[in-house]
């Protein structure tokens, strides 16, 4: 009997506990697999090459009994919840980026989420970050021991001749003892520890983008995974606890970027006005705290809907500037936007302007941002009014912006309506609602009744039970007939909204109780797991019987 429980996630990567007859191990980890799985050495017909066709794999793969359970992308896999699955020959996939991605997606879609994943002989200090990022948890020392036999010195940045150990690159115990085998094993363990730290801080993507730079195949794998948006989006949180660093071309393709932009276009309901002003972004987040945006706000004086043009997100309505990742990203500022970057941002702006009919669209922009806005305006057939004369914050530019808005009616940015539409894909009536408080203690009230609190770290709204009554459907988790005595576990869930992602606010509904809380799993994992916390509950209310 084995059991695996995920304790924390960062996309496909997990930190968890695997319990087996040989003991309990905290994953990700590297260990002596034959000692932990004693019957593994005698397991016949489990080493089927990944490129084998379906007929061959179906005929010859024999999972046998016990752990780990061999699986293959073209075979009927017998693994169940709590098992450790073994993907033989996965080290060969590292040189085949397209196949790596296709095989991984096939297996992840088929095998239960609450399983530990073992990649035998695949882990080196230079590959283990990618393996963990891809959802593998358990590794052995076979790969590094083979490198030792070949006289190879292993580091996270790549492999070197054994003589490199004498140059002072590393000062580990193995290097001090001139023991190449010990160094290579310690290097693998240190890299796994570092990867674990990045998972805990929700920043594994940043480490992955850094590590992959030394290997074109790893860069290609990362790009292929990003292209499989639907697969990755279901497994990535809607918010993170750490800032999003957009430091490379791959950062532009992060799922969080596309998801935010798609929600702005498809879900967001803007404040009621027919005049829009496109503004440049600022280094400080949220933008409204920056000196430049305070100046813009003073000049605009609520006479237009403010839309911030920015890389990599495309377009950030003023109402959404505090929501992750709009209020939590950092990007190198060079003044240069490449063609792919410009094309993405122009597409977002064009789609937004095509959906929302503004009588006037004013571009208070310069340089690349202005060029992108002009491209979007041409695509959507809109006449763009340009008010910049030199720098956007220059006196001449600000006078031109003020003159362009002369005579326009004042409006208020409806943060509640905008945020609720983006977050829950629904429209609510906000008449009589007020946002009260400052910074860490902001709430939405109707009179004295609290409807929502605002998470200062993510910008998301947290509905009270009264607030949920304003959201007619969606983001519900249905549970069996019990009253939660703490968090809701996956086995107690009967059904859930497929749009739920990790980090979403949800309403838990059951025959005996309702509860409010935050999803710890995405909908797919909630429905397919037999173990683990699915919803962190804040409040529970029993239903009178």
pLDDT digits (tens, 9 = 90+) for 205-245: 999 999 999 999 999 999 999 999 999 999 999 998 889 99
Q: What is the DSSP letter of 269?
A: -
Tokens of 259: 């998801």
pLDDT of 440 higher than 70:
no
Q: How far apart are CA 75 and CA 409, in angstroms?
A: 65
Q: How far apart are CA 111 and CA 108, in angstroms?
A: 5
Q: What is the DSSP letter of 195?
A: H
Cβ pair 405, 362 in contact under 8 A: yes
Strand order in the sheet with 443-446: 433-436, 443-446, 449-454, 461-463
Tokens of 106: 């096939």
Q: How far apart are CA 444 and CA 459, in angstroms?
A: 13
pLDDT of 43 higher than 80:
no
Taking only the tens place, the pLDDT of each residue in 274-325 is: 999 999 999 999 999 999 999 999 999 999 999 999 999 999 999 999 999 9
Q: How far apart are CA 202 and CA 510, in angstroms?
A: 32
Tokens of 153: 């010195």
Q: Give one DSSP letter per residue of 31-64, joined into a string.
A: --HHHHSTTSTT--S----TT--HHHHHHH----
pLDDT (average), residues 358-365: 96
pLDDT of 405 higher than 90:
yes
Cβ pair 308, 315 in contact under 8 A: yes
Name the nearest CA neighbour of 536 among 523, 519, 524: 519
Mean pLDDT of the chain: 93
pLDDT at residue 430, rounded to an integer: 92
Q: Is residue 536 reached through a cis peptide bond, with omega within 30 degrees of 0 on the bond before it? A: no
pLDDT (average), residues 344-361: 95
Above pLDDT 70, what percent of the chain?
Answer: 99
Q: How confident is the model at residue 48 (pLDDT cuts 50, 70, 90)?
A: confident
pLDDT at residue 45, rounded to an integer: 67
pLDDT at residue 340, rounded to an integer: 87
Taking only the tens place, the pLDDT of each residue in 92-135 is: 999 999 999 999 999 999 999 999 999 999 999 999 999 999 99
pLDDT of 46 higher than 80:
no
pLDDT at residue 137, rounded to an integer: 97
C-beta pairs of 314-318 under 8 Å, 24+ apart in sequence: 314/261, 314/264, 314/344, 314/345, 314/347, 314/348, 314/349, 315/261, 315/264, 315/345, 315/348, 315/349, 315/352, 316/264, 316/281, 316/287, 317/264, 317/268, 317/270, 317/418, 318/287, 318/288, 318/413
Whose tokens are 């017998």? That residue is 78
pLDDT at residue 334, rounded to an integer: 74
Which range, of 104-118, 294-308, 327-341, 414-428, averages the lowest pLDDT? 327-341
Q: Is residue 312 reached through a cis peptide bond, with omega within 30 degrees of 0 on the bond before it? A: yes
Higher pLDDT, 249 or 483: 483
Q: In which element (H, E) is residue 534 found? A: strand 533-542
Report how many helices (DSSP H) and strands (DSSP E) the chain contains, helices first: 19, 27
pLDDT at residue 438, rounded to an integer: 78
Longest dimension (CA), the chain: 84
Q: In which element (H, E) is residue 30 found? A: strand 29-30
How deeply is 187 buried, as exposed, middle or buried, from its count of CB atoms within 10 A (0-12, 13-18, 19+)?
buried
pLDDT at residue 506, rounded to an integer: 98
Whose tokens are 């972004």? That residue is 281
Write the Ramachandran bin of 228: left for phi over 0, alpha for psi from -120 to 50, otherwise beta. Answer: beta
């Amino acid at each position: 009997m084995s059991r695996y429980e995920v304790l924390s996630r960062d996309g496909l990567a997990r930190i968890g506990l695997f319990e087996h007859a040989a003991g309990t191990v905290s994953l990700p980890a590297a260990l002596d697999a034959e000692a932990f799985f004693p019957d593994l050495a005698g397991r016949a017909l489990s080493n089927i090459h990944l490129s084998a066709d379906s007929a061959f794999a179906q005929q010859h793969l024999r999972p046998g009994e016990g752990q780990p359970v061999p699986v293959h992308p073209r075979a009927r896999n017998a693994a169940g919840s709590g098992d450790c699955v073994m993907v033989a020959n996965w080290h060969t996939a590292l040189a085949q980026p397209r196949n790596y991605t296709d095989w991984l997606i096939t297996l992840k879609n088929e095998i239960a989420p609450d399983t530990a994943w073992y990649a035998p002989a695949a882990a080196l200090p230079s590959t283990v970050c990618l393996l963990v990022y891809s959802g593998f948890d358990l590794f052995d020392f076979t790969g590094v021991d083979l490198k030792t036999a070949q006289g190879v010195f292993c580091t996270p940045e790549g492999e070197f001749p054994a003589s490199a150990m004498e140059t002072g690159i590393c000062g580990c115990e193995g290097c001090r003892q001139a023991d190449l085998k010990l160094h290579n094993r310690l290097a693998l363990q240190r890299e796994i520890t570092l990867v674990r730290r990045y998972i805990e801080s929700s920043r594994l993507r940043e480490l992955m983008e850094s590590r992959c730079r030394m290997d074109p195949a790893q860069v290609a794998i990362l790009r292929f995974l990003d292209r499989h948006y639907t697969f990755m989006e279901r497994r990535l949180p809607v918010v993170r606890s750490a800032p999003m660093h957009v430091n490379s071309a791959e950062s532009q393709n992060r799922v969080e970027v596309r998801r935010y932009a798609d929600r702005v276009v498809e879900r967001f309901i803007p404040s009621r006005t027919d005049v829009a002003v496109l503004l440049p972004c600022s280094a400080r987040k949220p933008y409204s705290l920056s000196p430049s945006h305070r100046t813009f706000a003073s000049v605009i004086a609520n006479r237009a809907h403010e839309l911030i043009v920015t890389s990599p997100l495309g377009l950030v309505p003023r109402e959404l500037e505090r929501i992750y990742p709009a209020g939590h990203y950092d990007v190198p500022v060079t003044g240069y936007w490449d063609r792919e970057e410009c094309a993405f941002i122009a597409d977002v702006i064009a789609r937004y302007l095509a959906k929302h009919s503004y009588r006037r669209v004013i571009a208070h922009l310069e340089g690349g941002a202005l060029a992108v806005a002009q491209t979007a305006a041409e695509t959507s057939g809109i006449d763009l009014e340009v008010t910049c004369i030199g720098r956007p914050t220059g006196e001449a530019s600000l006078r031109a912006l003020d003159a362009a808005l002369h005579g326009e009616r004042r409006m208020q940015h409806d943060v509640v309506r905008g945020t609720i539409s983006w977050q829950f894909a629904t429209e609510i009536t906000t008449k009589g609602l007020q946002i009260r408080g400052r910074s860490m203690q902001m709430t939405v009230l109707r009179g004295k009744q609290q409807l929502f609190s605002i998470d200062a770290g993510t910008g998301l709204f947290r509905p009270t039970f009264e607030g949920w009554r304003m959201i007619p459907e969606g983001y519900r988790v249905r549970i069996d007939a019990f009253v939660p005595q703490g968090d809701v576990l996956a086995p107690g869930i009967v059904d859930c909204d497929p749009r739920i992602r990790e980090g979403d606010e949800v309403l838990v509904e059951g025959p005996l109780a309702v509860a409010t809380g935050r999803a710890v799993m995405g909908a797919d994992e909630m429905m397919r797991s037999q173990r683990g916390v699915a919803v962190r509950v804040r409040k529970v209310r029993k239903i009178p019987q």
